[in-house]
Amino acid sequence: MGIVSGRPTLKDVAREAGVHVSTASRALNPATQSVVNPETLKRVVEAAERLGYRPHPLARGLRTNQTMSIGMVIPDVENPLFGPIVAGAESVLVEEGYSLLIGNADRGIEHAEAVIQDMIERHVDGLVLATATRDDGQLAAATSQGVPVVLVNRTTDRGDVPAIIGDDHAGITLAVDHLVSLGHRRIGHVAGPSWVSTGHDRRQGFVAAMERHGLYAGPDVIEEAEWYQVEPGAAAASALLERHPDTTAIVAANDLLALGCYRAIRSLGKEVGSDISVTGYNDIPLLDLMQPPMTAVRVPHRQMGAEAAATLLAMIAGTEHTRGTKRLTPTLVVRGSTAPPRTAS
């Protein structure tokens, strides 16, 4: 076994395996491994493992005409749910020698389009977008220029671009079923913006779940927030409770909106949980430290990011042909923000 000082190179691997450098290169390239004798291939791979050899991303990019970089655009860097998505994607990309560039598009649709175009001009090898709207206008620039795209956390109405999302209908159904099991019948919904799939699909899920229980779910028990933040959530919850002061529970379309519901309920001199129950959606970090701790639908965001990255890499390699949507299964984490209504006997 040879001794190598510093970072091992392809020449070191070839020397260790007793083969020519070109043979070592073919053996360590997934696209050309099939032309290498199996016994030689095994010897080269074992030599690379012994030496701790990893291909240099820049050199690999020059060989494959790639920049070895992936762009990810998120709609709000301050929203904690995107941290696990980014971490999941990066965990997959770094193993394949890619760098991840993060773009924050928190100033609306036009800003998102500008950030996406900037990524394209930087010649990223592909894009993971968490900013898609239902009309998919943002995708035109990328797809028209042949840049592979995978959507994450959101999808489009057309559904013709691969997307890794949570099952929003199933998640909201978990929240409604839980509240009904506690005895709630007058349940309202603080919805997300209807122009993104998460707001639209969770609203539809709320209506379907309520109707399945024979409960009223008309437009007047649903208040749409302007955006997924605390203040819009408080404004929406206040409007809902002013219209229906007998509401005993609120299903919020995400955790930040649910925190806004906390604020609106307390402004009325009432308590979350004991007076009005609240459920969140996503289960962002620290919800267990809220007062009271928040019951929330948990979405596997790290898995979502990892699967989005893996799908994109498969598209870049030419081995991914699906254009469908994959929905990950949510779960419900029950905490102190939900309790039987005071009127329950």
Question: Any idea what the CATH number is for the domain that residue 18 is in?
Answer: 1.10.260.40
Q: What is the pTM of this model?
A: 0.80
In a domain, 336, yes or no: no
Helix (H) and strand (E) counts in the chain: 12, 12
In a domain, 235, yes or no: yes
Quick: pLDDT tens for 16-31.
999 988 788 778 877 6
CATH number of the domain that 144 lies in? Answer: 3.40.50.2300
User: Do residues 225 and 200 lie in contact, with contact meaning Cβ atoms separated by under 8 Å?
Assistant: no
Q: Are residues 79 and 124 in the same domain?
A: yes
User: Do residues 281 and 297 lie in contact, with contact meaning Cβ atoms separated by under 8 Å?
Assistant: yes
Q: Tally the domains of the chain.
A: 3
In a domain, 68, yes or no: yes
In a domain, 234, yes or no: yes
In a domain, 202, yes or no: yes
User: Do residues 83 and 113 lie in contact, with contact meaning Cβ atoms separated by under 8 Å?
Assistant: no
In a domain, 343, yes or no: no
Q: 292 by DSSP, 3-state: which?
A: coil
CA dihedral 102, 103, 104, 108 (to 10 degrees): -150
Q: Are residues 310 and 206 in the same domain?
A: no
Q: Are residues 226 and 270 in the same domain?
A: yes
Beta bridge partners of 183: none
Cα torsion angle, 169, 171, 174, 180, sign: negative
Please name which of 186, 147, 166, 208 lies closest in space to residue 296, comparing C-alpha atoms. Answer: 166
Q: Measured at the alpha carbon of residue 231, what is the angle toward residues 260 and 173, in degrees to the nearest 5? A: 40
Q: Are residues 227 and 119 in the same domain?
A: no
Q: Are residues 290 and 206 in the same domain?
A: yes
DSSP code for 301:
H
Q: Are residues 30 and 79 in the same domain?
A: no
Which domain range does residue 16 map to?
Answer: 10-55
Quick: pLDDT tens for 244-267.
999 999 999 999 999 999 999 999
In a domain, 289, yes or no: yes
Quick: pLDDT tens for 177-220.
999 999 999 999 999 999 999 999 999 999 999 999 999 999 99
In a domain, 342, yes or no: no
Most distant pair of Cα atoms in the chain: their distance: 82
User: Do residues 105 and 112 lie in contact, with contact meaning Cβ atoms separated by under 8 Å?
Assistant: yes
